[in-house]
Structures are given as C-alpha cells and as structure tokens.
Structure 1
C-alpha cells in the first residue's frame, strides 16, 4: 500500500484543492496542531476585509472509519470546542459520505477536488467537483469496475443479505471467492457505500448508493449478450400473458417492478418496454411471435443473462418468474427509456419497512 497518502500529505492536497477554489481576493492559512489538541490543525479562510472563517481540521483516509462513526466524531468535536466548525479532509470522499456530511451541514474537502464549505456567518458556500472514483485504492487489492460476474453476485447479495455479515459468509451467499468479496468491499468502503467492523465484516450498506454505483459500470444492453430488440405487434399485455406460458424466462425492468410494488401501489409510469431474460432469446422471440426492430422503436427487449443462475429455479410454464430485486433495479436504471422514477418508487416502498433502502 505504498500509494496510501500520509495524513499530512492528504491534508496538504485537500487544502490545496480548497485554496484553488477561493476567490482571488481570499487566502487560506493552515496551522498544524493549532485550535484544539483533538484536531489535526486549524484552517482559516481570510477575506479582503475583516472576514475570517475558521475551521478545525479533522483528517482521515478513505474507508478508515464508518460513515456513522465519523459523523458522530465530527459532531462531538464541534460540540466540545464551543461550536467551532469542523472541516473534514480525506484523500477521497465518496458520494454516500458526501451526502451524509452535507445532510449534517459539515464541511469537507478531499484530494481529488470534492469540496463543500458552508458557513452562515460570514455567509459562505464553496463547492468543487472531484473524481468519480477513488484514485488511491491500491492496485490488485480492490475492484475498480463493477461489470463482472463476481461483482454482480456480490452486489446482489449485499443488497438483500441480513447484516452484519462477514466476508466468508457473504462469499458463500454470493457463490464467489472470499478474495473477490474482499476486493470489492475495499472499494465500497473507500467510497462510503458500506461500513465495516474492525474484523472486516459488513455492518451497514447504503443500498441505493450501492446500486447507483453498480450501474456506473453495469448496463443491461452491454453486460448481457446477446440482446434482441423486438416489437410485440399485438401489444405488451398480450405478450406478457404469453410469457407466463413459457419456461426459463424471467421478467426484469418495468414489468418486474410492478410485481414487486405493494399491492396498493400503482406504477408512476405506464408500461412501455417489456424486458426479459432467457438462455434462448431467439426461441422466446419466436414463441411470442415478436418482430425484429431497431432499439429506438422496440417495445420488447430480450437478453441472455450474464449470470444464468438468475433463472434458477427455471420455473414451470404458467409461473411468471421475476429477476432478483437488485438486478431489476439495475435494469430499470440502464434499459432504453430507463425510468429513475420507477426505481425510486420501488426503493421508497422498500424503505418504508427497511431503513437500509433509505440511502
């Protein structure tokens, strides 16, 4: 882990990024060890007149502490120092942690350029955009792209498994090696999507963030091959009815989301695209009497799944099978005419009974 920055280095890099965002008439002064013995130092943003905005600096490497414990520590530091605001700095602050810090009105800056500094007196709002992914996850010790089969299985398991769960247990549930789990968790922890215990187990998962992170690399039409684009000339309702007569077919996307919503809920959008998984796309297209079409005009899309296990059990004719819940979400977000609204509606419904779906 030779590319892991020291605390001093990450503070310098993050504050350099912050200084670069200041107006030309402002300057940044940093005094290591000043302000409070529990903080790393004191930073002051000094304006052209008498404006002076001070922050205690608290620095930690990404993934070194869970988001909940970090926020508690930052709030405690601010409370016990007479309300002096705290600036959290790190080598990388992922989207889940950025949202959590912003919700608590805590300021932050990282080495890649993610910045949010807020103050009511003087009135300041300073923001900056950094890297989409952590640039310092050690090579060979983490997964940087989430489009592989092992990543898919681990993410689907994380989104549905009861917590806490240890690495070997999660590997068994997902059907992958413990090494694959460890590498993916390293990335998720660095981006604030999962929290881990001292022994490396997973104690919290921000499931919405997990699936949004997955679809940064996964896409229905790119990950699953082959893909057929078709038209159901007699309408989607008739095609959907006939799908139930076939074995080895699973619904995903909008049609699946409707089945997963509570009975009292109505989908926020009409069904415009029927998406299916099967090991035999050409055969199923023929059985349903579908017509080949261009992607822009198709109202049915059929793919062979990257992971054939999602079709297990295959199911009997007359039993309509639904793809795994996390995969349905990922497909909703990446299919043509993708529907964030449908995904959010379903996540909101799940969050009503499971707080892990709230973030």
Structure 2
C-alpha cells in the first residue's frame, strides 16, 4: 500500500472512530491501535487497526478492523479477509459509506460496521455492547462540491446503463457494457461508481463489472428516478369505458405506426402482466393504463380521453425523457424499466414490481 493510500485510510479510520464516539454513552472509552503488528505476532498480512471499547463496568471488547472505501473492491473479498485476520475474535469494518450490500453481509456474518454518514452496528454479547444507528440512504456530495459516488441516476444515459446491467450475468468490461447500453464508455464510467458505492455492482480493478445485485440495482436507481417526476410531461386522463377498453381502442387506431411520429410504448400494470411468466397472475388489479408517447396530448385527443386528476384518472400518458423507450410499435418497455416505473407509481404497484422482479430472477436462474 502506498503512503498516500495509508494516509487516506488513517484519516477515514480516525473520522469514523470520532463518529462512533458520538453514538456511544459518554462514560464508555475507546482505544484505537493503529499499529496492531507491534505485538510481535508474525502474520503474512496485518489488520488495518484494532479498536477496544470499554464500558463503565470494566467489560471490554477488542475489534479487528478492516478499512474499506465503498467504491473500491469487493465487499465479499474484504469481509473474507477480515474474518481470516480476526480469527474468531470481534471484527469491525470502517468505511466511508456502509451501503446496503455491506450492511446485510456484515450482519449475517456477525461483523460490525461504522461509517462516516451515521450507519453504526456493533454487537458483542460477552461485553454487553450493542450499538445501532442509521444514516442516509445514499452518500452525500463532499462539502467542496466534488462528488464521490452519488451521481444522479435519473438521466437517459444512466437509465440505459442500469437497464443494460440488468442482463449482465458474467464479467463485462466498460466498453462492452457501453455497447449494450448504446452510450459512450465515459457515461458508463461516470455511472458505475454510484452503483458500486451502493453495493449494486462489484467491479474489477480495470473498471469492469463482475457481479450485479438486481434488487439493489433497482433500489439505487429509484432513489433518483421517479416515473412522474423524471419524465418531462405527464397527463392524467379518464377513459369512460375503463383502461382495458382504452388500450383496445389504442390498438385499433394503430397509433404505434402513426407517420406523424406519435410512437408509443406501455409500462405499469399492462406491461408487467405481459412480462410475467405463463400461469402467473398480477397481484394487484388493473386500475391504470400507463402509456409512453412522443405526443401525449395528441394521443389523448385521438382516443377521446377526458382530462382528470391523478386521483380520478384511469389512464396516464407520459412523454419519456429517454426517447429510446419509444419503439415505433405498441410494445412494453424493458423489464427493468417496468419494475422501476411500478416501484415509483405509488399505491400497491410496488407489490407488482416485487412480483415481476422475483419471477424474472427465477426465470433467469432456471437452466
């Protein structure tokens, strides 16, 4: 490890310990050992540090520490290394941001974690120590205006990268991913750190992707992307005969091939129902027809829809920020887009998003 990298680790470590002090009772004491190899123990690799926590009763626990930045390296690899170094003794991860993947794996393995944003989990039953605090859902920009891994993921380029990652099942380089997504390699390079920091992807040293957690991928994307807020035009309409017949009227007018350019695609309940495996039925009823259109106003007029409020509408017409969703014929948008839309539509549609996501995962895993 270079001197600069070690200095960064030490700064991160001290900052996290200061954060931990604020989460503990004032009568507890902390003793940080930055040179754990000085005890004469001969090992091929020394831990980054050790931290001893003492309670007023005299009970104490010493934790072997691994320092890991959220956007660097594999979570699994770091935890395996820590378990080896701790040799059955209490273990603790210090990081700038404890993303969901790290928190989940740490707690499953009985490893504590402390980050700079407020996420703390430390448990040692023998010393009577238990601390848990929560931080933000994502890492915030640094005070000087630089960003770490928090690029907003609601733009067309980021959305294309996320949708391409949904189908990644083996190691994929940046250029290959860019080709799949239809974006530049630079766009991929800008988007991946935010996903890696959240634990949604695991990256190689050269920047490529080795593993994708679909649940966390959707979760991180929808922290920024919201179907009714991200897209530039959303019109709420009422179809007097209901959403099913409104879609039948849509197909009858053949607007998907309209030479005026009013191309469409559909999402929401209808798209999920079409995408579910045979024999699976949607867990929520159809109350809203959700259509992407290049010209929502003209489409609503052609179908004879009435203006409505979000509370009374049974049709929503949306002009997408990402125009590549418009296929030229009435087809559902890609599955990850359907899931993200359902997750952010409100009501019970998140249940349908979960159903489709789980069904898709089973289908992917089946030989």
TM-based fold match above 0.5:
yes
- Indicate yes or no: 2:148 matched with 1:119: no
Higher normalized contact order (CA 8 Å, seq sep 6+, divided by chain length) = 1
- Secondary structure class of the residue paired with 1:342: helix
The alpha-carbon deviation at position 264 of structure 1 amounts to 1.7
Q: Which residue matches 2:69?
A: 61
For the Cα contact (< 8 Å) 1:142–1:182, is it kept in 2? no
Q: Which residue matches 1:352?
A: 362
For the Cα contact (< 8 Å) 2:71–2:149, is it kept in 1? no
| TM-score normalized by the length of structure 1 | 0.89
Q: Which residue of the other structure, out of 103, 107, 110, is the alignment partner of 1:105?
A: 110
Deviations 1:213-233 (CA, angstroms, capped at 9, x unpaired): 111111111221221101121
Q: Which residue of the other structure, out of 190, 196, 205, is the alignment partner of 1:198?
A: 205
**Aligned residue pair count:** 346
The alpha-carbon deviation at position 119 of structure 1 amounts to 2.4
Q: 2:176, 2:133 → 1: CA distance?
A: 39
The alpha-carbon deviation at position 20 of structure 1 amounts to 1.1
Evaluate the alpha carbon distance shift between residue 103 and residue 346 of structure 1 in structure 2; reply closer, same or farther with a 3 A threshold: farther
The alpha-carbon deviation at position 55 of structure 1 amounts to 0.8
| TM-score normalized by the length of structure 2 | 0.87
Q: Which residue matches 1:96?
A: 101
The alpha-carbon deviation at position 143 of structure 1 amounts to 5.8
Deviations 1:242-278 (CA, angstroms, capped at 9, x unpaired): 2333313211112211111112222111112211111
- More displaced 10-residue stretch of structure 1: 224-233 or 335-344: 335-344
Q: What runs of 5+ residues in structure 1 fail to find an aligned partner?
A: none
Q: Which residue matches 2:279?
A: 264
For the Cα contact (< 8 Å) 2:141–2:150, is it kept in 1? no
Deviations 1:11-53 (CA, angstroms, capped at 9, x unpaired): 1111111121112332222122237762122211111113212
The alpha-carbon deviation at position 311 of structure 1 amounts to 1.7
For the Cα contact (< 8 Å) 2:141–2:147, is it kept in 1? no
Q: Which residue of the other structure, out of 216, 219, 225, is the alignment partner of 1:209?
A: 216
Evaluate the alpha carbon distance shift between residue 287 and residue 100 of structure 1 in structure 2; reply closer, same or farther with a 3 A threshold: farther
Evaluate the alpha carbon distance shift between residue 136 and residue 283 of structure 1 in structure 2; reply closer, same or farther with a 3 A threshold: closer
Evaluate the alpha carbon distance shift between residue 218 and residue 3 of structure 1 in structure 2; reply closer, same or farther with a 3 A threshold: farther
Q: What runs of 5+ residues in structure 2 fail to find an aligned partner?
A: 257-262
After TM superposition, the structure 1 = structure 2 runs for residues 1-359 of structure 1, keeping only pairs within 5 Å, are 6-34=8-36, 38-78=46-86, 81=87, 83-135=88-140, 139=146, 144-245=151-252, 246=254, 247=256, 248-312=263-327, 314-315=328-329, 320-337=330-347, 339-354=349-364
